[in-house]
Structure 1
Amino acid sequence: MQTHFSDADRQKPHIQQADEVLRACVHCGFCNATCPTYLLLGDERDGPRGRIYLMKELLESADDDTQAAEKAQTHLDRCLTCLNCETTCPSGVEYGKLLNIGRAEVQRRAPRSVSKRLSDYGLRKMLVNPARFKALLRLGQTFTPLVPGKLRNKMPAAPVDAGSRPAEDRHARRVLLLEGCVQPGLSPNTNAATARVLDRLGISVTPVAEAGCCGAIDFHLSAQEQARERMRANIDAWWPYVEQGAEAIVQTASGCGAFVKEYGEMLKDDPDYATRAKTISSMARDIVEVLRKAPLDKLDVRSDQRLAFQCPCTLQHAQQLGGAVEDVLQKLGFALTPVQNGHLCCGSAGTYSITQPELATQLRDNKLDALEAGHPDVVVTANIGCQTHLAGAGRTPVRHWIEVVDDTLV
């Protein structure tokens, strides 16, 4: 794709990066064929190719041009950031990088309405603090009829048992565990189950209370600098354990894992954190990356359940781990049902199911139709956002796959 940036613009780091991404695009449109919003809406502007043109027009326009920003805003907001287009693209276009630049530019040139800013601020404050989220969740469970409908179906009906954890220093091998911000409230047994499974494999798990939200929620709600502050705080919290020999930082939510793996890129220009951020990203592991290299024969599993695995976009497209969980589950003896169009997003996408509920509900129902076609007993996934979004339909039970493994250990 030909670009038309001035020499002065090309001196700006974000324009340099955008120019590289744009020039890689050859207009082929293969990306549209796998874009969930394009398939739903049929609007070129709601597919990756159209959004790329909108962002190109925005970045090439005058710095004070608000019209181009307003033109792009709605269509960039509708993007799930699933990165299916990156997996599909034959030219290797790094659409996600361009999208981050485009959204930041839209935010700068066309500030949101007061109501939208208040809504995003409220979501950030509600979701990113685990203790606050737990308290609000319990309040919501007590006064369910008062909870807005788009939030009500994401809540467990009652508090969930966290389960017990093995001692943190039982084994020579040791990993850190990112607890997450909403998962300890919505599905606390996921991390406990992870600790028990890894304990069976001779690996101790150390949770680090000072490490909070990974930063993804802030970043995708137009608070990118606040997200970087969270990254720095997490690096500071993990670093003493890294120096003491922790071998990995494990995530059970694939959305968090994908984001932590980007710390090195996002903080590469920070002289105080660039080196450590790169190290942290290199140590980030989804739980499946640990298990697929482990002696699975130590996990004596007995189960006759039929499982349908919903592979989150952040696992298959962002982390390029499509098929990894299925392989582990099959090696452990689980029966997996086939899932058509497994590459398509379920509509959760962080806070997308809250900010774009109509599109998210259509995507969820389509995904559940595909997952349930093989008549599974349980749908399993690898991300808390997908789990709560799919479970909100009240259809087939939805759980994290590591919990099912833990339940069936002999």
Structure 2
Amino acid sequence: MHAKLHHSLESKAAAREAQALLRSCVHCGFCTATCPTYLMLGDERDGPRGRIHLIKQLLEQGEATDKTRLHLDRCLGCRSCETTCPSGVEYDRLAGIGRTLIEQQQARPPWERLQRWGLRQVLPFRHRFTALLRLGQWLRPLLPRSLREKVPPRTTVTAWPARRHQRVMLALAGCVQPGTTPNTNRAAARVLDQLGISLIEVPEAGCCGALSHHLSKPVEGLDFMRRNIDAWWPAVAAGAEAIVMTASGCGSTIKEYGHFLETDPEYAEKARRISALTQDLSEVLDAQDLSRLALRPGSKKVAVHCPCSLQHGQQLPDSIGAVLRKIGVNLARTRDNHLCCGSAGTYSILQPALSRTLLDNKVQALTLDDPDCIATANVGCQLHLASQSPVPVRHWIELVEEMLGA
């Protein structure tokens, strides 16, 4: 597919990148068969092929309508289309450019601007978010059901093992996870400790930058990325062998730092190094000798939910299941594993109706074999699924940690 840039966009590097990305698309439509919003709404403009055509129109005409923005807003960013595409179209990057160009041209209605500004002022900052979360948890019994479902109960924090091994890996605390599911990284640290690896968090590292990027504030997102690189760099220079991601959404973004900062003369090389060091926790464990873990037999039947950011973003569709099978976990049958649960970062807040439909479908798909619990790999998915699931939803590493012997 070819687009001739409108004269007003010819000087914009992002528009030229979008023009180049468009060339890969042959408009075959294979992507529509795996697009959650197209399957739900049946509108060509709510599928990847239709959205690509809308972006092409934007590049050629120099402007877009509110309807174009509506259809791009409805995109989950799940990247299922990229997994399906036979031509290798980098749809996520293309859609991100399209959204940003429209955002630069058109002012949103006041309520939408306020809502998005509020999300950007709270969610990426762990202390702000946790303070508001604690208030919500205190008031939880008084909240209307729709809000109460979104506020997870407070968790008792467990211990972090002392640093005692020569092998060192870094963990990202992130922004939302420390307040909502604080034991995820602690469980990972205890499991890795049994394997002779010390996992440490660098306090200065925070939001990965994904939220700002997805809300069409790329410059702000790059600032978060640079802060993380600066925070991690001394430990990387000292020999940390990996940056371990327990939230697959963050992992998907950090593995692309090298792309996001490729034109930054100060950070380009460092960003490539950080991306190369970044591994999902399932990748790290799969590479270890798991027979070293003194594991008690697990009795639970577990339904595995592989987040979109892991199976489509990082192309690791069976990495959790592979590790759990290795240690003898009984895995439940599931269906429609390629479809999004509807969490998708801020999507559940900005598109609540579509998100809820996807959530209901996903819960049914995960519980068809009567599992004892659901295991996932991303905090957003975990909280979203737990809001409606009839069985507990846990990060998969907590299930492994529970199997550890004394």
Name the TM tier (shorter chain): over 0.9
Q: How far apart are the structure 2 equivalents of 1:151 and 1:348?
A: 15
Matched, 1:232 2:248: no
Question: Which residue of the partner structure matches residue 213 of structure 1?
Answer: 207
Q: Cα 1:220–1:150, aligned 2, differ >3 Å: closer, same or farther? A: farther
Q: How far apart are the structure 1 equivalents of 2:147 and 2:75?
A: 21
Q: Indicate the SS of the match to 1:211.
A: coil
Q: Indicate the SS of the match to 2:198.
A: strand
Q: How far apart are the structure 1 equivalents of 2:8 and 2:345?
A: 36
- 1:300-379 aligned within 5 A: 300-301=294-295, 302-379=297-374
Deviations 1:265-293 (A, max 9, x none): 00111111111111111111111110000
Deviation at 1:12, TM superposition (A): 3.6
- 1:23-38 aligned within 5 A: 23-38=23-38
Question: Which residue of the partner structure matches residue 74 of structure 2?
Answer: 78
Deviation at 1:323, TM superposition (A): 0.6
- Aligned 8 A contact 1:381 1:399 in 2: yes
- 1:136-215 aligned within 5 A: 136-144=132-140, 147=143, 150-157=146-153, 159-168=154-163, 170-215=164-209
- Aligned 8 A contact 1:179 1:251 in 2: no
Question: Which residue of the partner structure matches residue 17 of structure 2?
Answer: 17
Q: Indicate the SS of the match to 2:31.
A: helix
Deviations 1:275-327 (A, max 9, x none): 11111111111111100000010123221110000000000000011111101
Q: Cα 1:311–1:90, aligned 2, differ >3 Å: closer, same or farther? A: same
- Aligned 8 A contact 1:69 1:105 in 2: no
TM-score by length of 1: 0.96
- Aligned 8 A contact 1:150 1:354 in 2: no
Deviation at 1:394, TM superposition (A): 4.4
Deviations 1:95-136 (A, max 9, x none): 011011101011011121221111111112221111111111
Q: How far apart are the structure 2 equivalents of 1:9 and 1:226?
A: 22
Q: Cα 1:267–1:109, aligned 2, differ >3 Å: closer, same or farther? A: same
Deviation at 1:148, TM superposition (A): 6.4
* Unaligned 5+ runs, structure 1: none
**Identity percentage over the alignment?**
54
Q: Indicate the SS of the match to 2:375.
A: strand
The equivalent position to 1:127 in structure 2, one of 123, 126, 129, is: 123
Matched, 1:92 2:88: yes
Aligned length: 404
Q: How far apart are the structure 1 equivalents of 2:34 and 2:145?
A: 30
Matched, 1:251 2:248: no
AA partner of residue 346 (structure 1):
C
Q: How far apart are the structure 1 equivalents of 2:91 and 2:186?
A: 36
Q: Cα 1:116–1:7, aligned 2, differ >3 Å: closer, same or farther? A: closer
- 1:272-283 aligned within 5 A: 272-283=266-277
Greater mean deviation of Cα atoms: 378-387 or 211-220: 211-220
Deviations 1:54-105 (A, max 9, x none): 011011113xx3xx24231000000000000000001111101101110101
Matched, 1:54 2:54: yes
Matched, 1:390 2:369: no
Deviation at 1:16, TM superposition (A): 2.4
Matched, 1:268 2:256: no
Q: How far apart are the structure 1 equivalents of 2:100 and 2:143?
A: 31
Q: How far apart are the structure 1 equivalents of 2:285 and 2:119?
A: 34
* Unaligned 5+ runs, structure 2: none
Q: Indicate the SS of the match to 1:93.
A: coil
AA partner of residue 341 (structure 2):
C
- Aligned 8 A contact 1:70 1:106 in 2: no
Q: How far apart are the structure 2 equivalents of 1:378 and 1:185?
A: 22
Q: Indicate the SS of the match to 1:205.
A: strand
Q: How far apart are the structure 1 equivalents of 2:66 and 2:367?
A: 40
AA partner of residue 376 (structure 2):
T
Q: Indicate the SS of the match to 1:174.
A: strand
The equivalent position to 1:284 in structure 2, one of 275, 278, 286, is: 278
TM-score by length of 2: 0.97
